[in-house]
C-alpha cells in the first residue's frame, strides 16, 4: 500500500492475524497515514497468540454474542437519556472548570513531560493541590496519581508483599485485585459486604490488608465501613477504602463517606479515581502523615509513568472548588436517586442490592443483557453493559448511572420507559430477579 493511500482496518487486521476472518469494514474506519511511512505486513503471529485471539473471536464474539461485539449498541439520538457517565454532579461542562483548563493550557502548554518522582518541592503546584485535596478529605497527606487504576495498583503494591494476606471484597474494583497481583501477595476473597466472613478469614490467615469500595461500582451498594474499621482495629489490619464513587457525592462538602462518617482516624488509606465526580483523568491516594514520601518512591506507576499535565491539575482544582461550593448538586443527585430507585423497585426491578446513584440490573446471561440493552436503547434509554472480566462469567449486568443534571421530566421519562418495556425485557429470567425471589443477597462475584 503506497504513501497517501487510506488503509482500512479490515486490511490491517487481515495482515496481522492472517487466519482470522476480518471484522466488517465501514467507511468510518478509514484512517489517513503519513505519506512517507511504509506499511509492510507484520510478521504472522506465533500459534499460541493467534489461537488465543481466534478463541476470543470464536467463543465470545461469534458464539456468546451472536457475531457482534457486546459493547456495540446503537448511537443515542438527541433527547435520549444517556445514563452512562460517572459525572454524577453534572459538571463536566461547568464553565469555571473549562475556563481554568483553557487558561492553564494557554499559559503553560503541556508543561513538563516527565515522571512525578521529580516533583518533590512542597511549593510545586501539584503538591499544593495534593495538600488541598487531602485537607478536604480530612487526611494528613495525599498523592495525585495518573488514574484511579494506578492509585490502587501502586498503593497495594507498596503496602503488601508475598507474606501479606490481602482481604478483598468480591465486588471490589479490578484495580485493587490487580494491586494484589502486582504485590505478589495472597488475595483472600471476602463475601460481599460480609464483615463476619472477613473476621473469620482474618482469624484463619492472620493480620493483613483489607480492601473495600465505599460505594460499589456495579450495584451502588454502600460498604458497612464502621464494621470494617472495627475489625481492622481489633485485628491490627490495614484498611484501604476506594472512594471513587463517593468522593464529591457524599458528605456535606463532598468529603466522601469515610470523613462524613467520622472514620478518618480509623481508615489508613483512601484511594480515588478522579475520573468520576471530579471529571479528570487522574487518581488520588489519601494517606497518613509521613507516608507520601515513601509511596512516591515505592509505587511503580508513580515512578515509571509520567505525571499529570498543568491543565489537568487546573481542572481538578477548579472541579474541587465547584464540588465543595455547589452542595445543591449533591442534594439533587440524592433526590433523583431516591425517586428513580423507589419507582423502579415498585415496578419489580431487582435493584435492592444497592442504594446509591449507580443502578445495576443484574441480568446474568450476556445475550439476555444485550437484549435488555437493545430494548432500552430502542426506547431512548442508554446504560452500560458490564460483563466478564468486569463480572463473573454469565453474571453480566446493565448499569445506569444517575446524575444531578437530570430534570424531573427526565427522571419521570426514565421510569415511564422502564415501566412500558417490562414485558419486553424478560424480567423474571434475570438472575437478580431469581435471587430476589429466593430472598438471597446480591451477586457475589463481580469485580468491576
The residues binding ligand PLP (CB under 6 A) are 147-149, 152, 173, 175, 213, 217, 242, 244-245, 273, 275, 283
Minimum distance, C-beta of residue 87 to ligand PLP, in the bound complex (Å)? 13
Which is nearer to ligand PLP, 272 or 368 (by Cβ)? 272
Minimum distance, C-beta of residue 311 to ligand PLP, in the bound complex (Å)? 17
Which is nearer to ligand PLP, 149 or 269 (by Cβ)? 149
User: DSSP class of residue 429?
Assistant: G
Minimum distance, C-beta of residue 218 to ligand PLP, in the bound complex (Å)? 9
Which is nearer to ligand PLP, 159 or 433 (by Cβ)? 159
With beta carbons less than 8 A apart as the criterion, state whether 276 and 333 touch: no
User: What DSSP element (H or E) covers 366?
Assistant: helix 366-378
Minimum distance, C-beta of residue 143 to ligand PLP, in the bound complex (Å)? 14
All residues at 6 or more sequence positions from 228 whose CB lies less than 8 Å from its CB, including other chains? 195, 198, 210, 212, 239, 241
* Beta bridge pairs of residue 357: none
With beta carbons less than 8 A apart as the criterion, state whether 231 and 224 touch: no
- Buried-exposed string 368-393: b where 16+ CB fall within 10 A, e elsewhere: bbbebbebbbebebbbbbbbbebbee
Minimum distance, C-beta of residue 169 to ligand PLP, in the bound complex (Å)? 11
Minimum distance, C-beta of residue 151 to ligand PLP, in the bound complex (Å)? 7
Which is nearer to ligand PLP, 17 or 177 (by Cβ)? 177
Which is nearer to ligand PLP, 152 or 249 (by Cβ)? 152
How far apart are alpha carbons 215 and 245 in whole angstroms?
6
Minimum distance, C-beta of residue 275 to ligand PLP, in the bound complex (Å)? 4
With beta carbons less than 8 A apart as the criterion, state whether 403 and 220 touch: no
How far apart are alpha carbons 103 and 98 in whole angstroms?
9
Which is nearer to ligand PLP, 87 or 199 (by Cβ)? 87
* Chain residue at closest Cβ approach to ligand PLP: 148
With beta carbons less than 8 A apart as the criterion, state whether 169 and 211 touch: yes
What cell was used for 199? Answer: 473476621
Amino acid at each position: 500500500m503506497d504513501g497517501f493511500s487510506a488503509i482500512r482496518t479490515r486490511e490491517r487486521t487481515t495482515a496481522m492475524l492472517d487466519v482470522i476472518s476480518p471484522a466488517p469494514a465501514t467507511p468510518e474506519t478509514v484512517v489517513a497515514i503519513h505519506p512517507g511511512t511504509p506499511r509492510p505486513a507484520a510478521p504472522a503471529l506465533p500459534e499460541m497468540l493467534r489461537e488465543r485471539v481466534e478463541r476470543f473471536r470464536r467463543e465470545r464474539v461469534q458464539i456468546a454474542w451472536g457475531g457482534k461485539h457486546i459493547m456495540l449498541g446503537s448511537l443515542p439520538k438527541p433527547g435520549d437519556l444517556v445514563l452512562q457517565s460517572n459525572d454524577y454532579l453534572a459538571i463536566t461542562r461547568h464553565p469555571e472548570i473549562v475556563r481554568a483548563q483553557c487558561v492553564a493550557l494557554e499559559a503553560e502548554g503541556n508543561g513538563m513531560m516527565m515522571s512525578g518522582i521529580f516533583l518533590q518541592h512542597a511549593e510545586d503546584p501539584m503538591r499544593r493541590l495534593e495538600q488541598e485535596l487531602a485537607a478536604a478529605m480530612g487526611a494528613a497527606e495525599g498523592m495525585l496519581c495518573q488514574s484511579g487504576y494506578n492509585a490502587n495498583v501502586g498503593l497495594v503494591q507498596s503496602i503488601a508483599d508475598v507474606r501479606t494476606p490481602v482481604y478483598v471484597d468480591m465486588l471490589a474494583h479490578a484495580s485493587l485485585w490487580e494491586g494484589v497481583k502486582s504485590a505478589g501477595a495472597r488475595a483472600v476473597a471476602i463475601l460481599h459486604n460480609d464483615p463476619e466472613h472477613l473476621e473469620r478469614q482474618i482469624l484463619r490467615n492472620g493480620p493483613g490488608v483489607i480492601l473495600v469500595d465505599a460505594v460499589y461500582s456495579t450495584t451502588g451498594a454502600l460498604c458497612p465501613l464502621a464494621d470494617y474499621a472495627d475489625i481492622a482495629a481489633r485485628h491490627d489490619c490495614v484498611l484501604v477504602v476506594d472512594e471513587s464513587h463517593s468522593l464529591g457525592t457524599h458528605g456535606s462538602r463532598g468529603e466522601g463517606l469515610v470523613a462524613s462518617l467520622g472514620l478518618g482516624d480509623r481508615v489508613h488509606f483512601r484511594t480515588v479515581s478522579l475520573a468520576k465526580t471530579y471529571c479528570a483523568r487522574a487518581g488520588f491516594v489519601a494517606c497518613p502523615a509521613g507516608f507520601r514520601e515513601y509511596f512516591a518512591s515505592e509505587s511503580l506507576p508513580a515512578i515509571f509513568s509520567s505525571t499529570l499535565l498543568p491543565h489537568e491539575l487546573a481542572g481538578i482544582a477548579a472541579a474541587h472548588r465547584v464540588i465543595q461550593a455547589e452542595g445543591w448538586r449533591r442534594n439533587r443527585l440524592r433526590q433523583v436517586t431516591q425517586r428513580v430507585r423507589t419507582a423502579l423497585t415498585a415496578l419489580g426491578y431487582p435493584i435492592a442490592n444497592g442504594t446509591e446513584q449507580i443502578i445495576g440490573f443484574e441480568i446474568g446471561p450476556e445475550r439476555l443483557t444485550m437484549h435488555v440493552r437493545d430494548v432500552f436503547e430502542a426506547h431512548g434509554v442508554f446504560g452500560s453493559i458490564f460483563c466478564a472480566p468486569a463480572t463473573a462469567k454469565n453474571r453480566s449486568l446493565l448499569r445506569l448511572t444517575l446524575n444531578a443534571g437530570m430534570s424531573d421530566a427526565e427522571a419521570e421519562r426514565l421510569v415511564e420507559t422502564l415501566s412500558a418495556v417490562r414485558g419486553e425485557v424478560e424480567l423474571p429470567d434475570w438472575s437478580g430477579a431469581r435471587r430476589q425471589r429466593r430472598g438471597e443477597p446480591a451477586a457475589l462475584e463481580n469485580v468491576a
